[in-house]
């Protein structure tokens, strides 16, 4: 069973990146697709959102230094078909430490490849810090596809260009097969004309990349992480859960993820 690795990145915070990582993963798992979330953000928001307590030493910090294995960090969640590699604050130090290592852009790939090749997971979703630093660059080199979470506001369009430039640079330097797998428009408020204009602008410039599903701005989506639950469990019949289920269907179809 082949494993597909996605990284969900944006150099800007507060755009629904972690929300998308957690809820897309949960929606894929609900579809019986074995999914692993890798929390690469030292803030560990994805870890908390899946109801897992942060623990010192329970992250990829040591494996990225060549100490131990990522297998030791695999953590089951309360949801069938969904596992997690947690994060913790120590991971923040890796930004500077990685730059001093040989083949520093390939560290995460070498750590995750054994899990990827083990046959245990059909999908790995990496949640990155809100910056295009060393951890995010490593995640792009380890991934097959970048999924961009893009907030429905004008300033988000400026940041999109920076991400696309980073992808082109890394394709030349370290991961020639990396592609922008899709753009997820998040925090959409249908009452605001600008939000509609931003979606239309992205559709016009990157029609083959943008997903049909648009994630709405809802209070429930904001509340769910504080309860340690994906929206599919916290508000299973609400608009947020409906949207992420629809996105999971699109992702499954676009990347042929159905387990054979």
Q: How confident is the model over 215-254, as pLDDT tens digits? A: 998 999 999 999 999 999 999 999 999 999 999 999 999 9
Q: Are 13 and 133 in contact (CB under 8 A)?
A: no
Contacts by residues 190-197 (CB-CB < 8 Å, ≥ 24 positions apart): 190/216, 192/152, 194/152, 194/153, 194/154, 195/152, 195/153
Helices and strands per DSSP (H, E), number in the chain? 11, 8
Three-class SS state of 74:
coil
Instruction: Among 13-17, 21-25, 91-95, 172-176, name the one with the lowest average pLDDT.
Output: 13-17
Q: Provide the 10 A C-beta neighbour count for residue 76.
A: 10
Distance between CA atoms of residues 70 and 18, nearest Å: 21
Q: Are 11 and 159 in contact (CB under 8 A)?
A: yes
List the chain domain ranges. 4-254
CATH fold of 4-254 = Rossmann fold (3.40.50)
Question: Is 70 exceeded by the pLDDT of residue 260?
Answer: no
Quickly list DSSP for 37-60: EEE--TT-HHHHHTT----TT-SS
Q: How confident is the model over 139-198, as pLDDT tens digits? A: 999 999 999 988 877 777 777 888 888 899 999 989 999 999 999 988 777 777 777 887
Distance between CA atoms of residues 221 and 213, nearest Å: 16
* pLDDT for res 13: 56
Instruction: Find which of 7-16, 131-140, 203-212, 242-251 is predicted with most confidence, using mean pLDDT.
Output: 242-251
Q: What is the mean pLDDT of the chain?
A: 90
* More confident call, 33 vs 1: 33
């Amino acid at each position: 069973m082949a494993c597909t690795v996605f990284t969900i990145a944006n150099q800007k915070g507060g755009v629904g990146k972690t929300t998308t990582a957690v809820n897309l993963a949960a929606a894929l798992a609900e579809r019986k697709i074995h999914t692993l979330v890798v929390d690469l953000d030292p803030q560990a928001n994805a870890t908390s959102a899946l109801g897992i307590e942060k623990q010192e030493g329970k992250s990829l910090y040591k494996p990225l230094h060549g100490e131990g294995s990522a297998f030791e960090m695999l953590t089951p969640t309360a949801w069938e078909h969904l596992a997690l590699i947690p994060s913790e604050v120590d991971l923040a130090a890796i930004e500077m430490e990685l730059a001093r290592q040989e083949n520093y852009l390939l560290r995460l790939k070498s750590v995750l490849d054994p899990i990827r090749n083990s046959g245990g997971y059909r999908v790995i979703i990496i949640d990155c810090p809100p910056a295009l630093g060393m951890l995010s660059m490593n995640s792009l080199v380890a991934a097959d596809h970048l999924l961009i979470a893009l907030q429905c506001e004008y300033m988000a369009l400026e940041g999109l260009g920076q991400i696309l430039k980073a992808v082109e640079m890394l394709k030349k330097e370290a991961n020639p097969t990396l592609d922008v797998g899709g753009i997820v428009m998040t925090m959409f408020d249908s009452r605001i004309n600008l939000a509609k204009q931003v979606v239309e602008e992205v559709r016009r410039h990157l029609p083959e990349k943008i997903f049909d599903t648009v994630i709405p701005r809802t209070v429930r989506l904001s509340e769910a992480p504080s309860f340690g639950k994906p929206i599919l469990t916290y508000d299973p019949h609400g608009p947020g859960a409906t949207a992420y289920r629809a996105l999971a269907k699109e992702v499954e179809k676009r990347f042929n993820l159905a387990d054979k």
